[in-house]
Amino acid sequence: MTDLQRRLFDELETLVLIDPHTHINPHAPASRTLADILGYHYYTELAHSSGAAKVHLDEAGIGPKERVGRIVESLEHLGNTIQVSWLLEMAREFFGFEHEAITSQNWEGLYDAAVRRMAHPDWESTVLEKSRLEKVFLTNEFDDPLEGFDTERYVPCLRTDDLVFKLHEPQVRERLAKATGIDGGGRRAVREAIGRLFDRFVKRGARACAISLPPWFSPHHVGDQEADEALAEAYSGGASASGGLQLSRWVFWTLAEFCVEHRLPFDLMIGVNRRVYENGVYQGQDLFDMRVSLIQYKDLFNAFPQVTFPVSVLGHTSNQELVSYAWIFPNVATSGHWWYSNIPTYIELDTRARLEAVPRNKQIGYYSDMYKLEFALPKFRMYRRVLAKVLAEDFVIGRGWTETQALALGRQVLRGNVERIFRV
Amino acid sequence: MTDLQRRLFDELETLVLIDPHTHINPHAPASRTLADILGYHYYTELAHSSGAAKVHLDEAGIGPKERVGRIVESLEHLGNTIQVSWLLEMAREFFGFEHEAITSQNWEGLYDAAVRRMAHPDWESTVLEKSRLEKVFLTNEFDDPLEGFDTERYVPCLRTDDLVFKLHEPQVRERLAKATGIDGGGRRAVREAIGRLFDRFVKRGARACAISLPPWFSPHHVGDQEADEALAEAYSGGASASGGLQLSRWVFWTLAEFCVEHRLPFDLMIGVNRRVYENGVYQGQDLFDMRVSLIQYKDLFNAFPQVTFPVSVLGHTSNQELVSYAWIFPNVATSGHWWYSNIPTYIELDTRARLEAVPRNKQIGYYSDMYKLEFALPKFRMYRRVLAKVLAEDFVIGRGWTETQALALGRQVLRGNVERIFRV
Amino acid sequence: MTDLQRRLFDELETLVLIDPHTHINPHAPASRTLADILGYHYYTELAHSSGAAKVHLDEAGIGPKERVGRIVESLEHLGNTIQVSWLLEMAREFFGFEHEAITSQNWEGLYDAAVRRMAHPDWESTVLEKSRLEKVFLTNEFDDPLEGFDTERYVPCLRTDDLVFKLHEPQVRERLAKATGIDGGGRRAVREAIGRLFDRFVKRGARACAISLPPWFSPHHVGDQEADEALAEAYSGGASASGGLQLSRWVFWTLAEFCVEHRLPFDLMIGVNRRVYENGVYQGQDLFDMRVSLIQYKDLFNAFPQVTFPVSVLGHTSNQELVSYAWIFPNVATSGHWWYSNIPTYIELDTRARLEAVPRNKQIGYYSDMYKLEFALPKFRMYRRVLAKVLAEDFVIGRGWTETQALALGRQVLRGNVERIFRV
């Protein structure tokens, strides 16, 4: 880091943030042992990829310490990855770890130190404070009761993958009936049921509707009759490919309509193929097909000018389309650096292009996507490093901006736009 | 910028250029007010994208100053974009603007200063001279009379989008009949009409045939009978999808044949989808689908070895194909950095790859694509900065070239190849 | 280069390597004249691309010196290319060439000096030693007798393009029959024949099965009956598109089954379209279509967990998929920088992403793909420069690694993984 980058980075580090997309369980937001951290799919899937047997990593009945020990065996093959650099950063910042690497010789001390610190009753607050996190957006299944937690701190978001892609499954229909008290499969009934979900979520402070989408999906308006037929088929246990697609499209479109009604942004996370590696570890099975285009969302973006769509793309090769669509469509915003694109090489290029061509009020710089609170610190720090570099090189040096100007831009993409876009 | 980059940049800045692709109106090449500059679709579309209503920006009947004032309201959201950096550079270089940003507090002074300078009778020459522009290529509709301007300075180019994609529209057929005096819809008649267009353009000094192409288009030879059927359909008011496609292919192929006859390069600008955002501002509606490949042009490149095809690609993800096709096909040249790829992040990567793998005599470094002359200065300067950086890092430092060698390469891609390829 | 990069580079330069993919002819591995070097398709295709007529370059009956002289005429247009920088590096390192460029004025001296040095009986060993090459993998046609060379130094690899994509051609079937002594076209017979090839190759020390694949190919398991039909069609001289595809898939799948049996890695080189430029010079006709996805290999990667697939992708735009698939699938390894992606711009970005996200034990850093031994030196050196840069910037500076740690990572991707993955 140059001195300039360091100064910008240090200033960005002081910002208190709202994390606009995570998988935090608000009833157990922080880790209890290192197993909660190393159980994050990144570590199990990388350990498996590097050679560890799935049964060894996933074995039922072993305790958390044993589980950590087994993953640690693979770390020698993973030390180069950015994910393991997050692990080291957590170990150092939260647990005072001082070695160069986590190895079979030193992990037990780290494990025990972590257990002790995590046992403190204020561990959750400690992590939030140290990570400068004020609010954390959740990912809630549609039938999540949303009870028993502080929705000011943990902001609900309605995740809709099951509704859009699995309504033909009896269990999903049952969950919907149970969550809403509406049992019928007619178009009006299903629409009303979905409306009740929105009512409940919005009452509990939900700030977004969200969904992840496969590369082959393209939303379009579905006429009433087609929707009736697709619903009838699904509710009678049928599942033709074409009927399923029309059903998905109809539900999706209906969600967008409720987003208008409730003034909710609709987070689109575009590009994931599920279960590509069928024998992968838990959550380590999904991949993608880069052959996807935002042109598939043309109808949607045109039909819902009132809805803001924060769009995440799984592939770095989709970033230029995202930049261009956000440059043209008022209702398309760029959102974070998702999953396989969440590594510094791609974050840097994607951040550069976005800052050069998308209006500054439409860029959501980053979200952590974390499952446990401890991850916010290293992940946002990685992003802040890249952001400081881009601000330094492209704006302060490249365009002669003052550091004050550059930092204002940094603050806006890191915090200001989250507040404005999600009205939080 | 390092000292080395600065030295190279300063030398590149002294070059007098030929701009090989613009949308200049030769009857009104320079701006009369700032509205001509801010009316460039980049500013209206970005203002709209950042939140300004289309009716506010496009309202009929408001004067140029009012129009500029309305766009200026949005600049606070756009200061990060490279497009606004061009605006600032124009304001500083041409009108002595000295503030950090154009705001609602200071824009009127700038507006008035610009009006005064632009009112000078030699404003056009002043801009050309200050921008070191010797010749400017135009984009002329096929029925442009090409009269009333100096074709040595403003070089005609035959733009053929309407012929290829809209000949089924009665108005286009009428324009063709009127422009050529040939009214029939038979294959020979249409071919002859197209031939007359080429004759007229070439007589008036045209130096290229040009077209922009959607990602789904793939040119192929069309047999006489199929062409007859497609023409008959179009001229009788029909418009089937397959007939329309065959007609487009036949016209396209015919254009390439006339390029052989007249030794004209055929500029291909590949990848734009028109009217994706239907309610966008004027010229702010087009986007793209990255799923396009130059393999779609295989037949064309093989069939016309005598025609040079300067190829522009809309997507940065298409650049490696462009590099590779230009590396293999003698008749494929790389051409500029188009539209959504015309931002420094992508220009730098694309320039790097081209300079590393494409013969140096086949690279057209840059064109401005401008609508008003004032834009050449900041746009070419942006390119020169990137070029100086790449020459410094990859050639002088990376390969031990002398600065003299590096500058010779820079001159060739900026000017020499334009002269050679377009025989100008 | 910074001092840090220089130190890392110098250390990487001392490594003795195994080159895991080349096209070396073990009976004539080194060049005899400069024509062997300039005959490498890069130079003839670039010369042709820059304007030299194919007949001028390919003319039969001219001697090697005349041939070199003709290619040299084009070098003025190619001096910017990385390929010509390899040529200069060979000329300097091997033949003491001291000029800035190879020109029509100085090439003859270079030619004569090269002839003299190449005439030394120990030229082959000199080149290997100077290039620090210990072993060189070959690309052997399935009917290569594999006799008359030292298989410890020149390691056989079974290249299978013809088997998979040309078994419907009588000559290929005849070659298979001749090579195996099995003449029948029944499923069992062909399977047995393929088995014999593997037996012979493995006995002669083969370390990999390898194939290059077009972008449209997607391997799947083919049922016995379908395979029988496809084989019957092919062996009776038929060649329907669907039958041909099924045959290709069946042969491909059978190869993977034998890779299991013989514990051979299966090199997949994905993405090349053959003969796109039909009138190109020898080996300068192939290009690609970036619209390819590793999702096409989903079935294969799932079905053969025991086989390691070192995957090369032709397109830089495929690199993120490669990174992601290697991050998830234990049996997918990243392999080198192939052909149109083998230029520093793309090598740097691709190396960065791989080192950040793929387990370090699954990365094969580089192979030369060379036809003559002299190329290993400049090509590996180019890679080492990039690797030193990435190790310096991303690991030593970016993550605070020691130089010792960084060099260990460099050694592993340059040499260690080749040993482990190919068991050599």
Could you tell me which residues are beta bridge partners of residue C258? Answer: none
Predicted pLDDT of residue A185: 87
Mean pLDDT in residue range B69-77: 97
Q: What is the model's pLDDT at position C238?
A: 80
Interchain pair A340, C327: CB under 8 A: yes
Do C49 and B361 make contact, defined as CB atoms within 8 angstroms?
Answer: no
Strands B154-155 and B133-137: parallel
Instruction: Give yes or no for residue A125 having a pLDDT over 90.
Output: yes
Closest chain A residue to C349, measured at CA: A345
- Here the ipTM equals 0.98
pLDDT at A72: 98
Backbone angles phi, psi at C18, to 5 degrees: -115, 125
pLDDT of residue C51: 98
B-chain residues near C82 (CB < 8 A): 356-357
* Residues on chain A touching C323 (C-beta within 8 angstroms): 340
pLDDT given for residue B237 in this prediction: 84
Averaged pLDDT, B383-397? 98
pLDDT in tens, A48-84: 999 999 999 989 999 999 999 999 999 999 999 999 9
pLDDT at B184: 84
**Which ranges constitute the DSSP H helices of B181-318?**
187-203, 224-235, 241-262, 298-303
- pLDDT score of A239 more than 90: no
Phi, psi for residue A203 in degrees, rounded to 5: -60, -35
Report domain extents, chain C. Answer: 33-118, 126-422
Average pLDDT of the residues in A88-111: 97
Residue B138 has pLDDT above 90, yes or no: yes
Spatial distance between the Cα atoms of B359 and B418, rounded to a whole number of angstroms: 14
Query: At residue C265, does pLDDT exceed 90?
Result: yes
Contact (CB<8Å) C357/A344 = no
Establish if B119 touches chain A: CB-CB under 8 angstroms: no
C313 touches chain A (CB under 8 A): no
CATH topology of domain C126-422: TIM Barrel (3.20.20)
Q: What is the pLDDT of residue C185?
A: 87
Task: Kindly determine whether residue A291 and residue C291, on different chains, have CB atoms separated by under 8 Å.
Answer: yes
How far apart CA A260 and CA A207 sit, in angstroms, is 13
In this predicted structure, the answer to whether residue B110 has a pLDDT above a threshold of 90 is yes
Does the beta-carbon distance from C357 to A341 stay under 8 Å?
A: no
Task: Tell me the chain B residues in contact with residue A357 when contact means C-beta distances shorter than 8 Å.
Answer: 81-83, 340, 343
Answer yes or no: do C356 and A340 touch at CB < 8 A: no
Among B278, B289, B290, whose Cβ lies nearest the Cβ of A302? B278
> What's residue B55's pLDDT?
94
| Pairing mode of beta strands B272-273, B266-270 | unpaired
How many Å apart are CA A409 and CA B263, to the nearest integer?
Answer: 51
* pTM recorded for the entire structure: 0.98
Residue A382 is predicted with a pLDDT of 98
Residues 6+ apart with CB under 8 A from B341: A320, B313, B314, B315, B316, B319, B347, B350
- Rounded to the nearest integer, the mean pLDDT of chain C is 97
pLDDT band per the 50, 70, 90 thresholds, residue C1: confident
What's the rounded mean pLDDT across residues B133-148?
98
C291 touches chain A (CB under 8 A): yes
So what's the pLDDT on residue C184? 84
Please report the pLDDT score of residue C40 as a whole number: 87
Is C240 at the interface with chain A, CB within 8 A?
no
Q: What are phi and psi of B119, to 5 degrees?
A: -75, -15
Per CB-CB distance under 8 Å, the chain B contacts of C288 are 295, 321, 324
Are the beta carbons of C79 and B360 separated by less than 8 Å? yes
B17 has a pLDDT exceeding 90: yes
Query: Quick one: pLDDT at residue C246?
Result: 97
Contact status of C302 with chain A (Cβ, < 8 Å):
yes
pLDDT for position A77: 98
Q: What is the per-residue pLDDT across C374-394, written as a single tens digit (0 to 9) for each?
A: 999 999 999 999 999 999 999
Q: How far is B391 from chain C (nearest CA, A)?
A: 10
Q: Is C326 on the interface with A (CB under 8 A)?
A: yes
Dihedral (CA of B330, B333, B334, B339) sign = negative
Flag whether residue B279 sits within 8 Å of chain A, measured between CB atoms: yes
Q: Which of A345, B399, B329, B321 is nearest to C341 (CA)?
A: B321
Tokens 């507090």 sit at which residue?
Answer: B105
What's the fold here for domain A33-118?
A: uronate isomerase, domain 2, chain A (1.10.2020)
Neighbours of chain B (3+ CB pairs under 8 A): A, C
Q: Is B308 on the interface with C (CB under 8 A)?
A: no
C321 SS3 class: helix
Rounded to a whole number of angstroms, the distance from the CA of A278 to the nearest CA of chain B is 28
Question: Would you call C343 and B328 a contact, using CB atoms and an 8 Å cutoff?
Answer: no
Helices (H), C263-297: none
C340 touching B (Cβ < 8 Å)? yes
Q: Taking residues B297-301, report their average pLDDT.
A: 98
Q: How many residues would you count in chain A?
A: 424
For residue C317, what is the nearest residue in chain B, using CA coordinates? B317
Q: What is the pLDDT of residues A311-359, one digit of tens each?
A: 999 999 999 999 999 999 999 999 999 999 999 999 999 999 999 999 9
Res. C301 pLDDT band, cuts 50 70 90: very high
Average pLDDT of chain B, as a whole number: 97
- Between residues C124 and C235, which one has the greater pLDDT? C124
Residues near B331 by Cβ (< 8 Å), separated by ≥ 6?
B301, B304, B305, B306, B307, B308, B309
Cα(C366)–Cα(C373) distance, integer angstroms: 15
B158 burial (CB, 10 Å; 0-12 / 13-18 / 19+) is buried
Contact C6, C36 (CB under 8 A): no
| pLDDT of B97 over the 90 cut | yes
Among A1, A79, A287, the residue with its CB nearest the CB of C324 is A287
Mutate which: B44, B54, B80, vs A, most A CBs within 10 A = B80
Is A405 an 8 Å CB contact of chain B?
Answer: yes
B263 — pLDDT class (breaks 50, 70, 90): very high
C328, C330, C356 member nearest A51 (Cβ): C330
Contact B80 A352 (CB under 8 A): no
Cα A375 from Cα A369, distance rounded (Å): 9
Interface contact flag, A298 B276, Cβ < 8 Å: yes
Report the distance separating Cα A378 and Cα A94, nearest Å: 11
- pLDDT category of residue B239 using cuts at 50, 70 and 90: confident
Which pLDDT value is given to residue A312?
98
- Please answer yes or no on whether B79 and A360 come within 8 Å at the CB atom: yes
Q: Is the model's pLDDT at A184 over the cut of 90?
A: no
Among A1, A49, A317, select the one facing C330 at the smallest CB separation: A49
A356 touches B: beta carbon within 8 Å: yes
pLDDT digits (tens, 9 = 90+) for A113-123: 999 999 999 99
Report whether C161 contacts C141 (CB < 8 A): no
B239 near A CB under 8 A? no
Query: For residue C367, is pLDDT > 90?
Result: yes
Q: Is the pLDDT of residue B40 over 90?
A: no
Chain A residue nearest residue B286, CA to CA:
A328
Q: Tell me which residue of C127, C116, C65, C121 sits closest to C93, measured CA to CA.
A: C127
